[in-house]
């Protein structure tokens, strides 16, 4: 049995962080109902539908107008039997709708109410809308990313969003454990800025000791040299020499006796000090060899090394295939697509991708019947534009 089987989640979130959380919960067995306005999650059109299809797996869709009192009443009836209430609005919005934590808790004291926002539920920035790139900027992450003296660089994927979704799922799992022992629910507050700050981790501690901001080092790092991406005969490769033992092995692989015997490069501190001299010398040597030869030889020495892959190369990589990290599914709108599989493996209760991302309002009637509405009630709600039932609903092939 999946760990979250029997847990019912009302997911009011859009964008990435909240939906990613709901998807993670769904992959472990939770019944996640994605609650959308009649016009749908505003991220549905992004990337021709790829965004929504990738991030709303293992959910059902209920399309309802929350500004209509009848729509709000539908949600309040669902709250009575729900375990988790997941929302990602600017603080105060759900209160205005009468769906804030205190209101929901009055109906169901055992509810686990998780709020995902840009800046958290308190503080001077609480009313700002949250965006991944803003959190990267305001946490110091972007200031520490990019080439030295080059332009600032955003991380290529929405990692702060996804990380916040992971923290939210983690918090919900902990709250479910707490409720099992105490029989009480609680409010969870997660934010993009807190996630990004937590990822600056040792840099913040280092600043408290030295007063120094992290340098921008491109693909490298301040604590070791050589530790960066190099060009080879055919493609770029990352090489990380973390210890003097690695330096010895690296020089043996490339037959760099003269460099190994140079006192300037004998220690990591020396290599850091003389980086401007050492790196061009290494780059000249590395371009003589193929990436596959280098990676094979360095891996035998235990030296970190990796080719710089494109997404197109990732999805056909045999290791990724053997890890079952990419899964083909039949999407009701896009046809056959590839999506990420569940990234964590539980030996006794593994999660799964068991349904595609739903089309807007795909499960409206189904969910309302479960909530106690009759077919006649639902027909009237559809006629009055309180809810939407998509006529093109299809099951998971």
Q: What is the pLDDT of residues 173-188, one digit of tens each?
A: 999 999 999 999 999 9
What amino acid positions are annotated as catalytic residues?
A: 161
Mean pLDDT of the region 320-331:
95
Q: Which CATH superfamily hosts domain 8-199+354-388? A: Crotonobetainyl-coa:carnitine coa-transferase; domain 1 (3.40.50.10540)
Sign of the alpha-carbon torsion through 389, 335, 160, 3 = positive
Task: Characterise 275 by phi-psi region: left (phi > 0), alpha (psi -120 to 50), beta (else).
Answer: alpha
Token pair of 147, please?
């080439």
CA distance linking residue 22 with residue 28, whole number of Å: 10
Structure confidence at residue 170 (pLDDT): 98
Structure confidence at residue 243 (pLDDT): 95
Q: What is the pLDDT of residues 105-162, one digit of tens each?
A: 999 999 999 999 999 999 999 999 999 999 999 999 999 999 988 999 999 999 999 9
CA distance linking residue 225 with residue 228, whole number of Å: 8
Partnered with residue 84 across adjacent β-strands are: 9, 112
DSSP letters spanning 294-330? HHHHHHHTT--EEE---HHHHTT-HHHHHTT-EEEEE
Structure confidence at residue 392 (pLDDT): 56
Asked if residue 395 has pLDDT above 80, the reply is no
Structure confidence at residue 394 (pLDDT): 42
Q: Backbone phi, then psi, for 221, in 5-degree steps?
A: -150, 155
């Amino acid at each position: 049995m999946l760990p979250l089987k029997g847990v019912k989640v009302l997911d009011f979130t859009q964008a990435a962080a909240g939906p990613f959380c709901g998807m993670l919960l769904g992959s472990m067995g939770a019944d996640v109902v994605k609650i959308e306005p009649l016009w749908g999650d505003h991220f549905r059109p992004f990337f021709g539908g790829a965004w929504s299809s990738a991030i709303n797996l293992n959910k059902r869709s209920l399309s309802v107008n929350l500004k209509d009192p009848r729509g709000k009443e539908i949600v309040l009836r669902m709250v009575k039997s729900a375990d988790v209430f997941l929302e990602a609005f600017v603080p105060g919005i759900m209160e205005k709708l009468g769906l804030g934590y205190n209101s929901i808790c009055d109906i169901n004291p055992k509810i686990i109410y998780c709020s995902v926002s840009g800046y958290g539920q308190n503080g001077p920035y609480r009313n700002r809308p949250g965006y991944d790139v803003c959190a990267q900027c305001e946490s110091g992450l972007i200031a520490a990313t990019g080439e030295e003296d080059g332009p600032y660089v955003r991380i290529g994927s929405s990692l702060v969003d996804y990380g916040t979704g992971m923290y939210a799922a983690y918090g919900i799992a902990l709250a479910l454990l707490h409720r099992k022992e105490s029989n009480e629910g609680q409010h969870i507050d997660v934010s993009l800025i807190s996630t990004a700050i937590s990822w600056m981790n040792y840099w913040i501690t280092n600043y408290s000791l030295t007063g120094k901001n992290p340098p921008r080092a491109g693909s490298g790092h301040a604590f070791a040299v050589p530790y960066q991406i190099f060009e080879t005969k055919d493609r770029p490769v990352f090489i990380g020499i973390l210890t003097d033992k690695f330096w010895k092995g690296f020089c043996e692989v490339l037959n760099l006796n003269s460099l190994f015997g140079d006192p300037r490069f004998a220690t990591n501190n020396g290599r850091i000090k003389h980086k401007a001299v050492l790196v061009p010398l290494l780059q000249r040597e590395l371009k003589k060899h193929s990436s596959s030869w280098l990676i094979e030889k360095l891996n035998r020495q235990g030296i970190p090394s990796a080719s710089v892959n494109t997404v197109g190369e990732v999805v056909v990589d045999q290791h990724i295939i053997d890890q079952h990290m990419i899964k083909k599914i039949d999407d009701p709108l896009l046809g056959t697509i590839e999506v990420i599989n569940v990234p964590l493996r539980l030996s006794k209760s593994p999660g799964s991708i068991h349904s595609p991302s739903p089309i807007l309002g795909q499960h409206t009637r189904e969910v309302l019947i479960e909530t106690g509405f009759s077919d006649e009630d639902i027909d009237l709600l559809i006629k009055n534009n309180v809810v939407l039932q998509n006529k093109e609903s299809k099951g998971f092939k």
